[in-house]
Amino acid sequence: MLISNEKDPVTPISGARAVRTTIPNSRLITVVRKPGHLVLPQTKPKGLPGSIPGTSSCARAITVDYLVHGRLPEDTACQPS
């Protein structure tokens, strides 16, 4: 499962789409119309303050479902939160 922001200035969506076509049975979760690099929330180690919020609760929910239950989603376009 690949996760990407459509307008990521660091890793363009074209790269994620290329990888998606290269890996059989892979899926692409895309956060649309949201500039930025991070999709999922990031936290500092050991509970230090300064967490970075994710850009899409939709992408987060799909990722959690995949990691916890092993359900591979279809390619999905998520709206930003």
The structure's pTM equals 0.78
Percent of the chain past pLDDT 70, that is, above it, reads 84
Tokens standing for residue 2? 């690949």
Mean residue pLDDT across the chain: 84
Q: What are phi and psi of 77, to 5 degrees?
A: -100, 120
Tokens standing for residue 76? 């999905």
Predicted confidence (pLDDT) per residue in 19-58, tens digit: 999 999 999 999 998 777 667 766 777 666 666 666 788 8
